[in-house]
Amino acid sequence: MSQFTAQDHHYMTLAINLAANGMYTTTPNPNVGCVLVNNGEIVGQGYHKKAGEGHAEVNALAEAQDKAQGAVAYVTLEPCSHTGRTGPCAVALVEAGVSKVIAAMVDPNPAVSGKGLAILNQAGIETAFGLMQTQAEALNRGFLKRMRTGMPFIQCKLAASLDGKTALKNGDSKWITGPQARAQVQDYRSKSCAILTGADTILVDNAKMNVRYAELLEPPFPAEQLRQPIRVVVDSKHRLKPDLAFFQINSPIIILTTDLENNHHWPHYVQHLVVKELNGFVDLTDACQQLGKLGVNQLWLEAGHTLAGKFAELALVDEFIFYLAPKLIGASGQSLLQLPVLESMDQVYDLAIDEVSLIDSDLKIVASPKRV
C-alpha cells in the first residue's frame, strides 16, 4: 500500500507543473517546483526560474512567510544541501519550521544526493521521497544524465521527405516541412542548453542556428526575458570565418576543434574548445564530455547527414526526432543519415518508437535507440 495519499499526488502534480515553467531558463540547473501546504491550504508556491536566482523552495517560502511554520513541503527534487550562488534550501526549510518534506526524487548530484534529506531528518523534520518520481525525472532528463554520466542528453532532429531525403541533389532543402513543424523545432531549440551543428551546415546554408522566437506559435516569455542557447559548431579543419551570418548574433558560441587556430579576429562571445582528435577529426565523445563539464544538460543536434550519422554510429544520441513531410524527392536526393555499410540485418540500428503524431500535414516520430 502506498504511503502517499491522493492529496499528496495532487500537490506534487502542482509542483511538477510549476517546475515546468523554468524549462526555458534554468540551464544549467534543474527544473524544480515547490508547493507549501498548511492544514489543507496552499500557503506558498515557487519554482526555480534562473541559475543564480532563488530556488523553488526559497521562492515558495517567501510567498508563505510565517504560514510556512508547520507546513508540508512538496518538492520535485530533493532540497539542496550545499551553498553555491544561493544558500542551501534544506537549511531554509528547517529555519522556516516546516513539519514535513516530500520530495519526488533524490538528487543525483553527488554534492547533494541524500544530504538534503539528512539535514531535514537531523532537525526532526519528517521526510519521504519517490512520489511521482517518473514524472519528476521527465522534467530533467538532461540534468539527470549529466549528473550520472557526465554527458548531456542528446536529441537529434532530422527532417525528410517520406522517402527519406533531406534535400535535393543540389542541396536545396527549404522547406521540406511546414511552418508548424518548424515552429516546434524552434521550441525544442529554446529549451536546450546548447544547439550543435557542423561546419558544412554553416557553410552550405549560411545558417545562424539560433532560436527564431518570432516563429514560435506561443512564445514562452516576453522578448526581454528570452535567451539564446549556446551555439556549438564542429570545425575540425578551420573552415569557418568570422564574417559568416552564424557569428553575427551576439550570443555564446563554442567552436569545437582539435587545435587552436588564431588567423582570425573572433567576436568576444566566440570560444574555441580544443578536444581530442580521432582519425583527423573532432572526437565527438570527448566533445560531449567536455560540454557536460561546461554544464550543458540538454544538447540539440541539428546537422547534416554526415555529422548526424556519426553521432548515431557512436551511440551518442538519446532521442531521435523525425519530421517526415508528405513529399517525394527520389533517389537523387540527399540521404537522411550517413551510416557505415552494413552487411546483415543483425547490424541495423534498432529504434523504439516512443511517439507518433501529426504536426499539421507532417508526420512526427520520436524514437530512442534500443541499448544492448
Pairing, β 270-274 against β 253-257: parallel
Whole-angstrom distance, CA of residue 41 vs CA of residue 286: 50
Q: Which of 80, 82, 75 is nearest to 133 (CA)?
A: 75
Query: Which residues are registered as beta bridge partners of 234?
Result: 198, 256
For cell 507543473, name the residue.
17
266 annotated as a binding-site residue: no
Whole-angstrom distance, CA of residue 216 vs CA of residue 51: 24
205 annotated as a binding-site residue: yes
Which residue blocks in the chain are alpha helix, DSSP H? Answer: 6-19, 56-64, 89-96, 115-122, 133-139, 141-149, 179-191, 199-205, 284-293, 305-313
| Host H or E run for residue 196 | strand 194-198
Q: Which of 93, 104, 102, 95 is nearest to 30 (CA)?
A: 104
Pairing, β 351-359 against β 362-369: antiparallel
Give the single-character DSSP code of 286: H
189 annotated as a binding-site residue: yes
Cα atoms in the Cβ-side hemisphere of radius 13 Å centred on 166: 18
Which residue blocks in 151-218 are alpha helix, DSSP H? Answer: 179-191, 199-205
Known catalytic residues are 57
89 annotated as a binding-site residue: yes
φ, ψ (nearest 5 deg) of residue 141 = -60, -40
175 annotated as a binding-site residue: yes
8 Å CB contact between 14 and 8: no
81 annotated as a binding-site residue: no
**Annotation: binding site for substrate:** 173, 189, 212, 302
**Annotation: binding site for Zn(2+):** 55, 80, 89
**Annotation: binding site for NADP(+):** 159, 175, 201, 205, 236
**Annotation: binding site:** 55, 80, 89, 159, 173, 175, 189, 201, 205, 212, 236, 302
